[in-house]
Structure 1
Amino acid sequence: MTRGSVADSDLDSAIQPPFINPFVTGPATAAPMFIEVQELVSRVRGGLEFDQNVFASPVSAHFRVLWLQTARWVNFEQNYDEVEQRFTEAHISPMRFTRVTQLCEQMKKHGAVLVVKASTLGHALDEVVRHALSYGCVASGSECDVLRSVLLAERWHPEVKGQISDVAEFDKYWNSTGSEAVNLAFDPDEDDQETVTSKRRDTAQRLPQLPRRSTFHAILDLQTKPAHPYHRYNQALTDCLDPGAEACTVLCGTIEFLRKPLIVLVCIPNGIEQSCASEVNVPIRFIFVYLGPKSNEFKYTKLGRIFAIMMSNSTIFRAGIYEAQTVDDVLRSIDIFMMDALVIPLARHTNPQALAAMVRQIEAYKREGAYVMDMDRRSLGLSLKPSQTEFGVLEPLGSRKMSALDLALQDGALDQAEFARRASAFRAQEADKQHLSCRRRFVKDFCPPFSDLVRGIRPWCQRMSSDYRDAVTKENVGTVISSVLFLYFVNLAPAITFGALMNLQIHNSFTISLAILSTGSFLTLFTLLSGQPLGFVGITGPVFILESALASVARTASVSLPILRLWVAIYCCAFGLIFIIFNVSVLGNHIRRSVEEVFNSFIAFFYLVKSLFTMFRLIPATPGVGANTATRVLYSKQCAIAGTTLFLAFIKLQFCLAMAEIKRGTYFRRIIRKLLGALNVPLGMILITALNQIFFLGFELPTINIPPSNAVNASHWFNMPEFARLFDFAGSAALVHGAGIAIGFALCIIVFTEVALNGITAMKNKAVKSNVFVMDLVLMLVIFPVISGLLGWPFVSGASVRTMSNLVALVKLDPSPAPGMPHRVIGTVEQRVSGTFVGILVALSIFLGSILKFIPLAALYGMFLYMGMMGLRDLQFFQRCLALMKRRKHWEDWEFVRGLPSAHILVFATIQIVVIGILVALNVISEVTVITYAGIAFPLVVIFYAILRETALTRWRWLAIYLHQLDKKYKLDPQASKRNMSIPRSLSLSTKDASAHAVAIAYHTSVKDALTEAASAAAFETDSSAEYSDHEDGIIRRTWAT
């Protein structure tokens, strides 16, 4: 099928043909390339003045001049600053139209394209000298010799230690072998070995005055390729190049004895390898020479830079240069390049803010993917695709996707009658989809029973062995070992904090030793057996709320807390089995960003509310008027303890925030910043402990209640129920079972949600292995609740914040980013070893009681404040709320508000604020009233919001237009096939009659209204080019642990 045609079977498929340059028969995107500009400069005083002595001894010209690297390109341009002796910051290359025009005019007059199958630099440059002689740039053999010596002069690269050129290597090679000089006219295609020997003898006799150090053959040998053991390159810059990269060298400058400009593009199909002509160790594919006599009209370095700038464009200009055979091909490529170029007028006032605002326009231009040609002005005989704004779109409700019908009409592939017939079929097909999609989706997702579990066993087994092999590979073992210490503190600190709070506020049977041991044990088991070993589990805020509600119900019903917890575990296990039987795990693929942010916002506010209420409860009630002295002294002491606790907690908060800013800043070296970030929490605890021991020791601040190392009691590790009293409900059997069912269902929903968010978080760093979510549910909903109920351990759930810290510790970054580019995430070390070691170390921390007992509770409260603030800091919901407090002109180019009307942002943020407000109100009610079990209703609020988002908001026409930008979907499994939405749709560039387009445009206007009615009837959320949030971007939300 030719490009531009649409088959009947492809009506509903997206047409995404690759862009094909109409002038280039090669690939649409050329190989990556390093480009550099080398300017001819004087090495000695008067080095660029060539007198008769130089022509009498051409080799001396080699030591009079130097090729200085003045600019280079990897992705952006860098210029060499001779004052600062360094390359400037990478930037986009500006250029003048007048320079481009001058380059084209000079190329037409003096340009040439040489295709040379050379393996050495000397051979390639010798062809340039031959062309200069034949074209009349030089008039005599002595001028040829000087030009050849100049072209082979030493290259000076500022960032390469030692300037060793090919010339010096040739000289060293020939001196070591005792070879004699070679002739200027050496040509292996014409001369046999006897002739070559004769010519070398004649040349040696003709140049007897040359010293041994600068033998003429060292400059002029063009054919023999010696071993090069003395090459020096910029290895750091070489490492940042993509595999298969090539180099282009632009040589420009002024040579006074040239009769006319010498403009030559040397194409080397096989490339010149291991040549010091380039700064990097990649094959030299192109050499562009622009030399000429002194001229007041042209600056050869400026025009040579224009060619280098165009060569940095891989999709337009460079792709044409790869196939260029004549100067006309080069000029045609320049013409296409200029059609695609953006014009930026010089403003009177230029500031960084104004330039940064252009990013959106540039990105929008690049997404168009079309190259609009002016037919009257260019007369190229081609009909390009019209822009979408010229025709409108098929779906007016904000859709960014065009159907195959619309594309075919625009491309001229359908006539009037055929388009009308297919439009009618399209409307009927869309109507059928609305009636059948829901039923079919339900059957596919939830039937037959256990299908998701059966499908998940195979990928779970397949990744199991690789998770251990990948941890011990040479490139990963260092990352795995170094991450263990950081992750140990990330998991130990919450275990201690929640253990202390549960001991104080829930029941004294929940000791800190029990919390530490249970957290380490569950983490070890989960890492070994889960479907996503990058996820971390432990005690979380929502689970703490359920534990508080359980304690309240137990006190109300006069039932043993371990007995009630066991029944809750049984019911949670039962609901978990139902979830697995009916494949409820597929709902994890429908979690959207807004649901995650509502949940994370609630958790962040829980940390803030819990820490503040706990600290303010330390403030004692004011004693009465008749209180005795002992009561007043006790009151003063308690006030001192409360005030000091608040002070130390805020000191811990400010210290951790400062360490987080240092980590993300530019102070110190990267390794130091990374170390400070990894040890943020333990350093804060050490600081608060030191302040307490030095300044506040007499205040007797409350510290962690944990037995010392020499008094460890295994009985504190378990809190098992009395099974003989399993059915002893103290006359409240209905209350116990009712509360058990309600709390068990709430626990099941909480664990399901947190484990799903855990899995989503684990996929954000370009994870490639299968995420077997159903196996995580088997552990977290069936096995772990039963273990917690039997052993009396706290219930655990997915801890997405700790999972983020795991990703940060195991991330693999591009070790050598190109200049001007940030470190790019290239993947994650997906393995089970580090998590297993972390779990074991956390469990063994129960023997560190002699050290942990000195930590004051103020450090734990400060940590909760830090966790809450960092949990809100980088949520898009929170950032949108902050943006709405400013006028729109003060907004930065934030992605989460880009292209969105302020009214829509306000409405959507208000809906989220109302939901979060309800959740926080439930949390506050459970804290300040006797209704402590009110907090267990929050899973129902989250479910209600998720249903509201998927049903009501998508049918609200005014808001549905932008829902796909306001709220993206997540996918749990990276192996699932995804449409490539990032590539803009492009149409055929094949020649068509212009009148056919006029007819198609006119008829599109008349038929579009009928299609608009079909698209508007459903009034659902529009299909989006960014429907699913990409996990490959490698962007991790900042939290207290990251």
Structure 2
Amino acid sequence: MEQHDIFHPDSTVSPAAERLRYILGEDDDLPTPTLFTEMDTLQHDGDDMEWKESARWVKFEEKVEEGGERWSKPHVSTLTLHSLFELRTCIQTGSVLLDLEGYSLPEIVGESDGLIGPELREKVSFVLLRKHRHQHKKPMHRSLADMGKSNNCPLKNKFMKKIPRDAEASNVLIGEVDFLDKPFVAFVRLAQATTLGGLTEVPVPTRFLFVLLGPHGKGKSYNEIGRAIATLMVDDLFSDVAYKARDRDDLIAGIDEFLDEVIVLPPGEWDPKIRIEPPKKVPSADMRKSVLNLNELGQVNGMVGGAGGGEDEEMPAPHELGEELQFTGRFCGGLWLDIKRKVPWILSDFSQGFHIQSISAVLFIYLGCITNAITFGGLLGDATDNYQGVMESFLGTALAGTVFCLLGGQPLIILSSTGPILIFEKLLYEFSLGYSLDYMELRLWIGLHSCLQCLILVATDASYIIKYITRFTEEGFSSLISFIFISDAIKKMVGSFKYYPINRGFKPDYVTSYKCECIAPDQGEPFSSSPSSFSSTSSPSSFYTFYSPSSFYCLDWSQLSKKECVKYGGALLGNTCKYVPDLALMSFILFFGTYSMTVSLKKFKTSRYFPTKLRKLISDFSIFMSIMTFVGLDMLVGLDTPKLIVPTEFKPTRPDRGWLVMPFGKNPWWVYVASAVPALLVTILIFMDQQISAVIVNRKENKLKKGCGYHLDLFWVGILMAVCSFLGLPWYVAATVISIAHIDSLKMESESSAPGEQPQFLGVREQRLTGILVFVLNGVSIFLAPVLQFWERIKLYLMPAKHQPDFSFLRHVPLRRVHLFTLVQIICLAVLWILKSTVAAIIFPVMILGLMVVRKMMDLMFSQHDLAWLDDILPEKDKKKEKGGKKKKDNKKTKAAETESDEEVRDED
């Protein structure tokens, strides 16, 4: 192996790296195919010989277990360092045939035999042309997951789905023979990949052959060399070298590069029998394969051993939101670019929705939207004296959601009513009552002014300021919304125990003594019932006809129900009068059971039970299956648990209002102008809520490919504000939690992944169909009757340093600075929560803007180095960092931070 002096000033580039830079730097538009590697060993049965498959690689190693009936679990190949050096020697001294012309195994063997003497040629050819037996047989006793799998075609098996379509094969043949005195080694690369009959267990054309035949007694050593070359062939960088190598020196340089990156485990500190599980996330090979970074290959090993991975050492990318938020300086320039960006995707926006995954997404989001519509409708009805209720909520959800998903810039965003809007509606209604103003007319003018203000923001490219919304603001906003949802669910659950308490004093042994009677009021007491005490379906006059005060006491009070007894002025007497069924306990079982089952089924995709397709199907429909299961349980038990009531008639909730709000005639003229002031608050709320949710949905982690549409989204939200105001419907804006759930339900993963390799996240099924169907179903229902880094940093407060996870930001930012950053976020979140819970909630949108101001001030508390790892660097800072003075300042801060980090480590020790 070529050596270079680590003390020499020019020794940062190894000779192997220089050679690979030249090899891989050549222009080649064709990508290197994925290699499937199979290792066969020569088996002896008397004078008979055959090649038997012993291991295979797509990404990770799979061995044939000792029993010979099954494959091992995929695992990371653990190689001995000695076997790698022996492999290097084999390539250095053995035969290397590159771009060999051969289209059949006998032809290739004939060419290879020319490298040995004529006395051994016939024997070697005889051995190499022996029959190959692959691992196709299934055991007689099969698991339920294997039932139904066909073995009609041994070469075309289920394993083929794990291999990419354009893959090629490399075959490794290892064997011991009695006619050789020294090993025979040949490395062959065919000019054209060729299917060589039954040489490979799957119908994949062979490109590479590695043959190692040697005398008896060193079978284990030969096997380790075979595993070494097989592992190298599936290595991303070495496979590129193998395809582009021009001679054996290029192959040796590839092995040297691999050795530069090898990590040696001390023999006394781990058990070689342990099979290392494949990592959940395989590090990308882009850095190693990049020609520009090849000059660092000699140093990568040090970073891997010391810090856990060279790739994590790269500075996080600056905060970028793409060209969608470029300030055009033209009237409606951003809106026009959004439209141009979306027009080419019109057809695919609908065609990509025709997939079974869309069905589960529609069912899931529909259930989320309909419960949200009923809940907010009921709360709006209470807050506005039924000027807006459940019916208006249903109709508004269907109208606004359908229009937005059909015409909006980001159809994956789900519109819904939100808590701040509900608070604003309540305060506006109370203001209207206090100043004798017509609520619906005042609300209409606020909506029209807000619509106009939104259109002005669109025309002036005001969405540009979203570039200053970093992870700090996103985490604060999404955490607050998540906590609101969680706290509301817990409040409702706890409230049910208040209305339906558990019967703790019930004793089954004394059940015969339990009773409850309705006692008539004393005859001396005046009759105090009034028509208002009767239900709306009863006629007070009819009551007085049949039950006048003179005949009132002739009632059979013992036959009255509990409600009738109280209504007619009777008294309940007995130890079971306050008894209620255990509705709260049953509600808790349904609540907790639905959540637990959903989480369990969602994780079922990564379990080991049942075939892959069935696991994925169960995972996709986990929420729908959980809800249906516990709804069925509720129906089966038959308890009268609290239910959400869906309206059955298509008419306004309040009888004295129509479907159209008139703009004039009920309020003074000055109201039409003055309403622009509260409209400004609504506009800020709409703008911040909509755009922060859009930024979270459009994050690069979701791998969206069709672009964003911030200006187009705000345009339609503003238009819908005016339409809903005229119809007297609630206002709608992006719902963060439901939108994220919509994204999660449409995530796509690679169908073919190497055994042991986690499916690769490919992106999101970007289409409009699911959103449209969800909101259409919401309308039809009338007639049917973000793991945040923030949370990880909070958990660090409770962990000693030695038990803390190996997060990348902990490697570069002192722990005290991490805690300070998290503390600032917690304080901001607490302030937002307090504001949300008080009358001051009306300034909630202004406080969201305040998060951006706090983030700006944090530039004075933290270095740009720390913020790059904990958050995102603001756009201006990227420009300032280009100046030399700023660089020097940041370098000083970085050194100070590193010094502080070293001191902390010493303190912890």
Cα distance change on mapping 1:340 and 1:506 into 2, 3 Å: same
Q: Does 1:276 align with 2:190?
A: no
Q: Is the 8 A contact 1:766 1:827 kept in 2?
A: yes
Residue 38 (structure 1) shift: 0.7
Q: Does 1:770 align with 2:707?
A: yes
State the distance in 2 between where 1:970 and 1:515 align: 39
Q: Does 1:445 align with 2:327?
A: yes
- TM-score by length of structure 2 reads 0.74
Residue 154 (structure 1) shift: 2.1
Cα distance change on mapping 1:598 and 1:331 into 2, 3 Å: closer
User: Which is worse superposed, 153-162 or 878-887?
Assistant: 153-162
State the distance in 2 between where 1:672 and 1:354 align: 25
Residue 52 of structure 2: SS of its match in structure 1? strand
Instruction: Name the residue aligned to 1:565.
Output: 443
User: Which is worse superposed, 349-358 or 294-303?
Assistant: 349-358
Q: Is the 8 A contact 1:598 1:912 kept in 2?
A: yes
Instruction: Name the residue aligned to 1:913.
Output: 826
Instruction: Name the residue aligned to 1:345.
Output: 266
Mapping of residues 393-542 of structure 1, within 5 Å: 400=315, 445=327, 447-471=329-353, 476-481=354-359, 483-542=361-420
Q: Which of 581, 586, 591 matches 1:652?
A: 591
- The amino acid that maps onto 2:405 is T
State the distance in 1 between where 2:219 and 2:609 align: 49
- The amino acid that maps onto 1:1015 is K
Residue 231 of structure 2: SS of its match in structure 1? helix
Cα distance change on mapping 1:725 and 1:634 into 2, 3 Å: farther
Residue 388 of structure 2: SS of its match in structure 1? coil
Cα distance change on mapping 1:885 and 1:1018 into 2, 3 Å: closer
Residue 345 of structure 2: SS of its match in structure 1? helix
Instruction: Name the residue aligned to 1:893.
Output: 806
State the distance in 1 between where 2:275 and 2:227 align: 26
Instruction: Name the residue aligned to 1:597.
Output: 475
Q: Does 1:87 align with 2:8?
A: no
Residue 81 of structure 1: SS of its match in structure 2? coil
Q: Is the 8 A contact 2:316 2:868 kept in 1?
A: no
Q: Does 1:294 align with 2:216?
A: yes
Q: Does 1:966 align with 2:887?
A: no
Instruction: Name the residue aligned to 2:8.
Output: none
Q: Does 1:41 align with 2:40?
A: no
State the distance in 1 between where 2:365 and 2:730 align: 21
Residue 153 (structure 1) shift: 2.0
Residue 99 (structure 1) shift: 2.0
For structure 2, the residue ranges without an aligned partner over 5 or more in a row are 1-16, 140-151, 305-312, 502-520, 522-564, 895-909
Instruction: Name the residue aligned to 2:643.
Output: 703
State the distance in 1 between where 2:398 and 2:821 align: 40
State the distance in 1 between where 2:575 and 2:345 align: 61
Q: Is the 8 A contact 1:251 1:304 kept in 2?
A: yes
Residue 300 (structure 1) shift: 2.0
Cα distance change on mapping 1:155 and 1:752 into 2, 3 Å: same
Residue 20 of structure 2: SS of its match in structure 1? coil
Residue 750 (structure 1) shift: 4.1
Cα distance change on mapping 1:952 and 1:812 into 2, 3 Å: same
- The amino acid that maps onto 2:399 is S
Instruction: Name the residue aligned to 2:186.
Output: 264
Residue 538 (structure 1) shift: 1.9
Mapping of residues 930-1009 of structure 1, within 5 Å: 931=839, 934-949=840-855, 951-956=856-861, 958-968=862-872
State the distance in 1 between where 2:865 and 2:707 align: 33
Instruction: Name the residue aligned to 1:181.
Output: none
Residue 815 of structure 1: SS of its match in structure 2? coil
Residue 652 of structure 1: SS of its match in structure 2? helix
State the distance in 2 between where 1:91 and 1:640 align: 61
- TM-score by length of structure 1 reads 0.65
Instruction: Name the residue aligned to 2:784.
Output: 848
Q: Does 1:875 align with 2:788?
A: yes
Instruction: Name the residue aligned to 1:71.
Output: 55
Q: Is the 8 A contact 1:241 1:818 kept in 2?
A: yes
Residue 752 of structure 2: SS of its match in structure 1? coil
State the distance in 1 between where 2:211 and 2:246 align: 16
Cα deviation code 1:594-620 (max 9, x no counterpart): 212211121122224444555666747
Cα distance change on mapping 1:801 and 1:347 into 2, 3 Å: farther
Cα distance change on mapping 1:154 and 1:898 into 2, 3 Å: farther
Cα deviation code 1:993-1036 (max 9, x no counterpart): xxxxxxxxxxxxxxxxx9975524589999xxxxxxxxxxxxxx
State the distance in 1 between where 2:712 and 2:485 align: 30
Q: Is the 8 A contact 2:262 2:301 kept in 1?
A: no
Cα distance change on mapping 1:693 and 1:332 into 2, 3 Å: closer
State the distance in 1 between where 2:78 and 2:340 align: 55
Residue 131 of structure 1: SS of its match in structure 2? coil
Q: Does 1:582 align with 2:491?
A: no
- The amino acid that maps onto 1:835 is G
Q: Is the 8 A contact 2:42 2:176 kept in 1?
A: yes
State the distance in 1 between where 2:885 and 2:377 align: 60
Residue 267 of structure 1: SS of its match in structure 2? strand
State the distance in 2 between where 1:657 and 1:834 align: 26
State the distance in 2 between where 1:261 and 1:538 align: 73
Q: Is the 8 A contact 2:697 2:740 kept in 1?
A: no
Residue 845 (structure 1) shift: 0.8
- The amino acid that maps onto 1:940 is V
Residue 547 (structure 1) shift: 2.8
Aligned residues: 772
Residue 399 (structure 1) shift: 9.1
State the distance in 2 between where 1:94 and 1:531 align: 50
State the distance in 1 between where 2:458 and 2:834 align: 33
State the distance in 1 between where 2:182 and 2:791 align: 66
Mapping of residues 525-924 of structure 1, within 5 Å: 525-613=403-491, 619=498, 644-645=583-584, 648-649=587-588, 651-665=590-604, 666=607, 668-669=609-610, 671=614, 674-675=617-618, 678=621, 680=623, 683-684=626-627, 687=630, 690-691=633-634, 694=637, 696-697=639-640, 702-708=642-648, 712-713=650-651, 720=658, 726=664, 728-729=666-667, 733=671, 737=675, 740-757=678-695, 759-760=697-698, 764-780=701-717, 782-849=718-785, 874-894=787-807, 897=810, 899-924=812-837
Instruction: Name the residue aligned to 1:435.
Output: none
Cα distance change on mapping 1:128 and 1:364 into 2, 3 Å: closer
State the distance in 1 between where 2:25 and 2:656 align: 71
Q: Is the 8 A contact 1:248 1:284 kept in 2?
A: yes
Residue 771 of structure 1: SS of its match in structure 2? coil
Q: Does 1:156 align with 2:156?
A: no
Residue 515 (structure 1) shift: 1.7
